[in-house]
Structure 1
Amino acid sequence: MTTHDIEFATRGQVNARRNYLMGIWAGRMLGLSDRDLADYVRDVMASDFLEPGPQDVVRKVQRDLYGIGTEISEVEVLRQLQMTERSVRAELLTTD
């Protein structure tokens, strides 16, 4: 099995874990309690089903952070999402 085969087979897992971690990252920036954080993470994960690609997640997180006065652009949120995705991919490739 090649790296490409593994990436293809695990794409859904990568996206789900990436969105989960993005929800935690953003939720902590929002100052959510543990109970509210769990709900927020679910909301971030669900937002990925609005349209193809990650832009729906990026917009949701950016809007939520902007709503509390955090000056963060979609580009910065996208950069965080990309770093998170790279980390998740590396994690999956090194896991037994």
Structure 2
Amino acid sequence: MTTFDEREEGFEKKFAVDEELKFKAEARRNKLLGLWAAEKLGISGDVATAYAKEVVAADFEAAADRGALHKVLKDLTAKGNAVTEGDIRAKMDELLIQAVAQVKAGV
């Protein structure tokens, strides 16, 4: 194996690790978003945990964070919460920082 091949293999492995971290962090962020929204909806306990799982699942149904965002926006506005798409995006950005830290820490 040449040095070039070894470097290429190293880059491929790093890319795979980075993509796995990104996937885990986004899923964790969506779970945290679901728990945040559940609190705003007055949901707690096992029901809040189940709702957070629904938010995570919703994100798999649409691309680029739209599933989680639209589900939370729809549910919050349906219950009379004055929240905008921008508010939720800002919360998602905030929660992504927490999620990355949690995933890196193995929490």
**TM-score, normalising length: structure 2:** 0.76
- Structure showing greater radius of gyration is 2
Q: Secondary structure at the match of 1:27?
A: helix
Q: Tell me the number of residue pairs that the alignment of Structure 1 and Structure 2 aligns.
A: 94
Secondary structure of the corresponding residue to residue 61 of structure 2: coil
Unaligned runs of 5+ in 2: 1-9
Match of 1:20 among 28, 31, 44: 31
Following TM superposition, where does structure 1 have runs of at least 4 consecutive aligned residues deviating by more than 4 angstroms? none
SS of residue paired to 1:10: helix
After superposition, the C-alpha distances for 1:29-76 in whole angstroms (9 at most, x for unaligned) are: 100131211221111111011111112111110111101101100110
Percent of residue pairs bearing the same amino acid type: 24
Q: Give the drift of 1:90.
A: 3.1
Q: Which has the higher helix share?
A: 2
1:84 aligns to 2:107 (yes or no): no
In structure 2, the partner of 1:67 is: 78
- The AA in structure 1 aligned to 2:80 is G
Match of 1:11 in 2: 22
Q: How big is the shift at 1:88?
A: 1.5
Q: Please, what is the CA RMSD of the aligned residues?
A: 2.1
1:49 and 1:60 map into 2 onto residues whose CA distance is 12
Cα pair distance change 1:42/1:9, threshold 3 Å:
closer
Q: TM-score, normalized by length of structure 1?
A: 0.84
Amino acid in structure 1 at the alignment position of 2:44: S
